[in-house]
Amino acid sequence: MQKTNNNSPIAVVTGVSSGIGRAIVEHMIIDGYDVFGSVRNEEDAKTLSKQMGPKFKPLVFDVREREKVRLAAEFVKSQLNGQVLHGLVNNAGVAAFGPVEILDDEAFDASIDINLSGVRTVTNAFIPLLRGTESKSPGKIINISSLSGILNTPMNGAYCVSKHALESLADIYRRELLPAGIDVVSVRSGPIQSEIWNKARSQGDTYDDAAYQKMASKVRRIMRRAERDALPASAIANTVMDILAGRKKRVAYHLSKGAWISRFLAVLPARWADRLITNSLMS
Ligand X SMILES: NC(=O)c1ccc[n+]([C@@H]2O[C@H](COP(=O)([O-])OP(=O)(O)OC[C@H]3O[C@@H](n4cnc5c(N)ncnc54)[C@H](OP(=O)(O)O)[C@@H]3O)[C@@H](O)[C@H]2O)c1
Residue 174 CB-half CA count within 13 A? 16
Q: Pick out residues in 211-250 that bind ligand X (CB under 6 A).
A: 230
- Which candidate, 65, 107, 114, places its Cα nearest to that of 91? 114
Stretch that binds ligand X, among 12-20, 28-36, 46-54, 239-247 (CB under 6 A): 12-20
Least CB distance to ligand X at residue 42 (A): 12
User: Across the strands, what pairs with 201?
Assistant: none
Beta strand residue intervals within the chain, DSSP E: 10-13, 34-39, 56-60, 87-90, 140-146, 183-189, 252-255
Give the one residue of 17, 123, 186, 239 binding ligand X; rule: CB under 6 A: 17
Q: Does 37 bind ligand X (CB under 6 A)?
A: no
Q: Given 33, 159, 207, 212, which residue is catalytic?
A: 159
Q: In the sheet that 87-90 helps form, which strands lie side by side, from edge to edge?
A: 56-60, 34-39, 10-13, 87-90, 140-146, 183-189, 252-255
Least CB distance to ligand X at residue 279 (A): 25
Q: Pick out residues in 99-138 that bind ligand X (CB under 6 A).
A: 114, 118
Least CB distance to ligand X at residue 105 (A): 17
Stretch that binds ligand X, among 56-64, 69-77, 216-224, 268-276 (CB under 6 A): 56-64
Distances (CA, A) of 267 to 185, 261, 272: 21, 10, 10
Give the one residue of 144, 219, 243, 281 binding ligand X; rule: CB under 6 A: 144
- Spatial distance between the Cα atoms of 154 and 164, rounded to a whole number of angstroms: 14
The number of angstroms, rounded, from the C-alpha of 157 to the middle of its chain's C-alpha atoms is 17
Q: Does 59 bind ligand X (CB under 6 A)?
A: no
- Spatial distance between the Cα atoms of 217 and 230, rounded to a whole number of angstroms: 20
Give the one residue of 12, 63, 85, 216 binding ligand X; rule: CB under 6 A: 63
Least CB distance to ligand X at residue 189 (A): 4
Least CB distance to ligand X at residue 84 (A): 24
121/206 with CB nearer ligand X = 121
Using CB under 6 A, count the residues that bind ligand X.
28
Give the one residue of 9, 58, 93, 139 binding ligand X; rule: CB under 6 A: 93
Q: Are 242 and 31 in contact (CB under 8 A)?
A: no
User: Across the strands, what pairs with 38?
Assistant: 59
- Spatial distance between the Cα atoms of 216 and 22, rounded to a whole number of angstroms: 31
- Which candidate, 143, 276, 174, 283, places its Cα nearest to that of 219? 283
Residue 242, SS3 per DSSP: helix
93/154 with CB nearer ligand X = 93
Q: Does 146 bind ligand X (CB under 6 A)?
A: yes
Residue 260, SS3 per DSSP: helix
Q: Does 194 bind ligand X (CB under 6 A)?
A: yes
Annotation marks residue 33 as catalytic: no
Q: Does 161 bind ligand X (CB under 6 A)?
A: no
Residues labelled catalytic: 159
What residues make contact with ligand X under the rule CB under 6 A?
14-21, 40, 62-64, 91-94, 114, 118, 144, 146, 189, 191-192, 194-196, 199, 230
